[in-house]
Structure 1
Amino acid sequence: MDHILENLLSEPLTPWLSGSGPEGEIVLSSRIRLARNLKSQPFPGRASTAKLGEIMAELKAVPAELMADDGHDYAFVELEGLSTLARYVLVEKHIVSPNHVADPKNRALIVRDDASVSIMVNEEDHLRLQCLEAGLNLTEAFTKANTVDDIIESKHGLAFMEHIGYLTSCPTNIGTGLRASVMVHLPALSLTKQMGTMVAIATRLGLTVRGLYGEGTEATGNIFQISNQVTLGRSEQDIINNLNSVVKQIVDKERMARSLLINETPDVLADRVWRAYGVLRYAQSLSASEALALLSEVRLGIDLGVIDEALPAVFNQLLVTTRPNFLQNLSGKVALNQAESNKLRAKLVRLSLHGN
């Protein structure tokens, strides 16, 4: 299954980041993550090297078990066999967490050929199963995750107690073990200084708002991840319904903020997004954070019909290709220094915009 890994590392877009799906101009993707542990083994944080090896050996059977059910190809990738660069490309593509690749020994990835299903082996839990869909599509992502979970549970005993639910390393995941999240692009709320209010409201409703790569990361490019905080005592459907409801309200607020910008300050907005477009179109050097900030404003201009010289799909593609590790991998060089990276990023952006 080397072609699966090769495609993951080289292709800029995965289907769930295509820009399609419900509310796709604001909600980039939906994710369902399930935390699971084998009942016969200690949690990864308490497991010896030998035990972690046993867990890896048992879970190598999972790809074949999943392939027999849905017809897709799956790969089992041992992280220790990947270069540091390749591991962090997977982080930038939201296939694995930063924590998972920090110490690759006895850790692995199980991934479907379209990257919509990926399973981290021996991260904080034995299994961190995630399913991703384009747009606001949590129900479809949960259906897929539930199917994969049922197949794994039918073949491997999982740690579960009737009166508690699934047992996990972190107490906040006990119960359903479910973390539902959406990735949203909220430039208008940021420009109109309303994000602080939105974050406070989401927090009061039991949700958490994080940056582009989840916990501990910044909201680069006005992209945020919104997810549930608690799993114990709540059903999967309750968690999904609550998140869906709040996200729809945030989407409505973002649209209202966009209307405010285009109706009350159209000249200011036009000047801002065209300046951003001009910099991206002609810049000879761009840092990663600068590129995302400018791309966010250009995407806003595209969505509002101010800019008609680029397609929305370009924004989604450049979200990946301008990231430092993907760019490094794309260059084919052993290493890029900061100046070389910034120069190559600017060239890539210019070519992408020129082609549209």
Structure 2
Amino acid sequence: MKYLQEYPKSLEGSKSLLAKYLSKEVFEELKDKVTSNGFTLTQVINSGVQNPDSGIGAYVGDEESYEVFASLFDPIIEEYHGFKKEDKHKSNLNSNDLNAPNPDPTGEYILSTRIRVGRNVKNIPLGPAINDEQRDAIEKEVSEVLSSFENNLGGKYYPLNNMSEENTKSLIQDHFLFKAGDRFLETAGLNRNWPNGRGIFHNNEKTFLVWINEEDELRIISMQQGGNIKEVFVRLVTAINTLSQKFEFAYNDHLGYITSCPTNLGTAMRASVHIKLPNLGDKMDEFKIIADKYHVQIRGVHGEHSQSEGGIYDISNKRRLGVSEVECVQDMYDGVVALIKREKELSKI
């Protein structure tokens, strides 16, 4: 990749946060800077330069990138998260602090619950900058630890490289198999040497899953059918704590858990439910007012940029940085309770 020496013309007219905050002055200030892992401004902005329709458009290759390129990332983070450079993140994984009795014990509304976090190993470059040997080492070490898990976390690891047709079909059927990233991740450098060094672990009950070297080095996921949100959270915390005994994850007091995409900083958590809300779906203005009040996002059944099918929506926490993990899940829970209450009222009209 050549070093950009002139301000990229493709950003003119782009609505991305990269285009908003990479002024020509900031570009001149940062264009020759480089992190100790060799990550440059050209690499930071390549995804947004190649894809002017990006929402953010900037990725980092290591924790140091957030300091070296701070004059770009500080305003992006402040706008996206409402989080200033002097603010401190807070973490709380104590499930006793979560007040979340099942909001739908009869199973009338919530189809499934899923909570995931991203994690990256301290002092190892992130996905856009990691080399093949480092990626392979992460896969080997993490998969070995996961394969030693027991009881309700015990299961099997499936490397993506040379995966059998039988395992491929099974993982697709369970919606577990991840593919090479889209054009945004491709141009961020996250698809290099695909599919080597990548894989999937899931427990025997198929309620706990770890993706190795997808967008983050680890995506740790807990999920199950129905609306027992606290049970899903407890399982996730158990897995995180067990992995934390073997690996030190990249974390700092300002940005929380370090991720290659600035939208995932802080808790790096997404807590979500698939929920049936056909009446609210017909009153989208009201739907959005409730969602905004409880800091939750509305997505289609297949995630971002997808449509609802059969009145089913994906509802997740919006805040990630500056709030704790417990607060993220509590946001989602409180929002879901309010949405179900209103859906019941509308069904009687």
TM > 0.5: yes
Output the amino acid matched with 1:239.
C
Q: Which 10-residue stretch deviates more, 167-176 or 225-234?
A: 167-176
Identity of aligned residues (%): 30
Aligned counterpart for 1:128 among listed residues 209, 219, 229: 219
CA spacing shift, 1:41–1:71, aligned 2, 3 Å? same
- Residue 158 (str. 1) matches residue 241 (str. 2): no
- 1:213 equivalent in structure 2: 302
- In structure 2, do the counterparts of structure 1 residues 165 and 125 end up closer, same or farther at CA, with 3 Å as the change threshold? same
Alignment-derived partner of residue 22 in structure 1: 105
Paired position in structure 2 for 1:243: 332
CA distance in 2, matches of 1:85, 1:256: 47
Aligned to 2:155: 74
TM-score, normalised relative to structure 1: 0.60
Deviations 1:301-355 (A, max 9, x none): xxxxxxxxxxxxxxxxxxxxxxxxxxxxxxxxxxxxxxxxxxxxxxxxxxxxxxx
Note the 1:180-199 alignment, pairs <5 A: 180-190=271-281, 193-199=282-288
CA RMSD of aligned residues (A): 2.7
Name the structure 2 match of 1:336: none
Q: Within 2, Cα distance between the matches of 1:22 and 1:46?
A: 45
> d(CA) in 1 for partners of 2:260 and 2:216?
6
DSSP-derived class of the 2:161 partner: helix
Offset at 1:188?
Answer: 3.1
**TM value normalised by structure 2:** 0.61
> 2:61 maps to which residue?
none
2:174 is the alignment partner of 1:93: yes
The change in CA–CA distance for 1:189 and 1:206 in structure 2 (over 3 A counts) is closer
Contact preservation (8 Å) 2:290, 2:338: no
What are the ranges of 5 or more consecutive residues in structure 1 without an aligned counterpart? 1-19, 261-356
1:220 is paired with a residue whose SS is coil
Is residue 2:144 matched to residue 1:61? yes
Shift of 1:87: 4.6
Query: 2:291 maps to which residue?
Result: 202
**Superposed displacement of residue 75, structure 1:** 0.8
Q: CA deviation at 1:58?
A: 1.3
89, 114, 120: which one pairs with 1:37? 120
Secondary structure at the aligned position of 1:143 is classed as helix
Q: 1:242 offset after TM fit, Å?
A: 1.5
Shift in Å, 1:88: 7.3
CA–CA distance in 1 between the matches of 2:341 and 2:266? 32
Amino acid at match of 2:159: E
| Distance in 2 between residues matched to 1:71 and 1:217, nearest whole Å | 33
Equivalent positions of 1:1-356 (< 5 A) are: 22=105, 24-67=107-150, 70=151, 72-82=153-163, 87=168, 90=171, 93-97=174-178, 103-190=194-281, 193-203=282-292, 205-260=294-349
- Unaligned 5+ runs, structure 2: 1-102, 183-190
Aligned-pair CA distance for 1:224: 1.1
Instruction: Give the match for residue 60 of structure 2.
Output: none
* Residues 1:95 and 1:167: Cα distance change in structure 2 (over 3 Å): same
